[in-house]
């Protein structure tokens, strides 16, 4: 087992050896967007109803307007109880023509959901088109704009919209142009990396890196790229009970990696 070392940390593969030079290639994926996340709400978030949050994605090219249709689950994040029923306090319960499962709408391609360990609020990352990836804090009933608001363009470079913000729609906490393709999301609360406590971590598929994001409450402050180019696509990142960070990669020989102090 070989460790890939940085200034303050080492990446240890849990299942197989790292190849010299980090030469593994990501596996090709289908053109249609198929990612997604779900997060179980804890007692602080859902109390008596023990709600559950799931993701339904906007479809392929030509179907993106569904994200603005409250009668359709595409491009939505939905909230359910653990038995599959709809919580009575969901924001669109009783609204004619709206699906009662919907918690938020106007999403393109959610790839990470997280309950904040102190506030219980739901944080989310999603892919934009070419540019326009987002970090959001979800508000019940919030419209996150896709495809009426975006910093991205179509993959052929053509314009989607001139709108970067609109009244009645939620602005992203952080927008990435060019795309980093964030995937997976975790807050670090451990003690093994004391300088990282309170940071957000997400895999960055396009950057072949792990991003550490510093926030001040609910405001974005700064970010840094870790282990850039050392691993293939990082699909998920989680804090383990030992206070270390664990990464799952997406490739033909993808693996489970542990990030530990050097």
Return the pLDDT at 196.
97
Dist CA 99 CA 97 (whole Å): 7
Helix (H) or strand (E) holding 53: strand 51-56
Is a pLDDT exceeding 80 seen at residue 9? no
- Alpha carbon distances (Å) from 95 to 46, 50, 138, 203, 229: 22, 23, 20, 37, 48
Cross-strand partners of 126: 110, 134
Mean pLDDT of 48-75: 67
Q: Select the more confidently predicted residue: 51 or 120.
A: 120
Percent of the chain with pLDDT over 90: 71
- Alpha carbon distances (Å) from 121 to 42, 75, 138, 139: 11, 20, 7, 8
- Are 47 and 35 in contact by the 8 Å Cβ rule? The answer is no
- Are 208 and 231 in contact by the 8 Å Cβ rule? The answer is yes
| Strand ranges inside 194-232, DSSP E | 200-204, 209-216, 219-226
**Confidence band of 21 (pLDDT split at 50, 70, 90):** very low
Say which residues have a Cβ less than 8 Å from residue 83's Cβ, sequence separation at least 6.
none
Say which residues have a Cβ less than 8 Å from residue 243's Cβ, sequence separation at least 6.
190, 191, 192, 193
Return the pLDDT at 84.
87
Q: Select the more confidently predicted residue: 83 or 146.
A: 146
Cα-Cα-Cα-Cα dihedral sign, residues 78, 81, 86, 87: negative
β-pairing, 51-56 vs 76-81, is: antiparallel
Q: Considering the domain 34-179 in this protein, what is its CATH number? A: 2.120.10.30
User: How many other C-beta atoms can be found within 10 angstroms of the C-beta atom of residue 5?
Assistant: 13
Return the pLDDT at 140.
97
Dist CA 188 CA 186 (whole Å): 6
Query: pLDDT of 200-248, one tens digit each?
Result: 999 999 999 999 999 999 999 999 999 999 998 999 999 999 999 999 9
**Residue spans in the chain of domains classed CATH 2.120.10.30:** 34-179
Is a pLDDT exceeding 60 seen at residue 1? no
Q: What percentage of the chain's residues is helix, strand, coil (to nearest 5)?
A: 5, 35, 55
Mean pLDDT of 167-179: 98
Number of H helices, E strands in the chain: 1, 17
């Amino acid at each position: 087992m070989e460790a890939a070392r940085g200034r303050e940390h080492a990446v240890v593969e849990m299942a197989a050896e790292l190849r010299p030079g980090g030469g593994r290639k990501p596996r090709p994926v289908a053109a249609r967007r198929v990612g997604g996340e779900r997060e179980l709400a804890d007692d602080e978030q859902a109390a008596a109803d023990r709600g559950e949050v799931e993701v339904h994605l906007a479809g392929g090219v030509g179907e993106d307007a569904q994200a603005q249709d409250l009668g359709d689950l595409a491009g939505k994040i939905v909230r359910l109880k653990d038995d599959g029923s709809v919580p009575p306090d969901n924001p669109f319960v009783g609204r004619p023509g709206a699906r009662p499962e919907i918690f938020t709408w106007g999403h393109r391609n959610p790839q990470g959901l997280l309950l904040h360990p102190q506030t219980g609020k739901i944080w989310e990352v999603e892919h934009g088109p070419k540019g326009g990836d987002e970090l959001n804090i979800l508000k019940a009933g919030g419209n996150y704009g896709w495809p009426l608001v975006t910093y991205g363009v179509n993959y052929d470079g053509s314009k989607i919209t001139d709108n970067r913000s609109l009244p009645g729609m939620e602005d992203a906490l952080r927008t990435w142009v060019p795309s980093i393709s964030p995937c997976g999301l975790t807050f670090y609360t451990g003690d093994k990396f004391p300088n990282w406590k309170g940071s957000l971590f997400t895999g960055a598929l396009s950057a072949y890196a792990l991003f550490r994001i510093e926030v001040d409450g609910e405001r974005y402050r700064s970010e840094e790229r870790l282990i850039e180019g050392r691993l293939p696509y990082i699909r998920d990142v989680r804090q383990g009970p030992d206070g270390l960070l664990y990464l799952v990669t997406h490739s033909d020989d993808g693996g489970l990696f542990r990030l530990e102090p050097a």
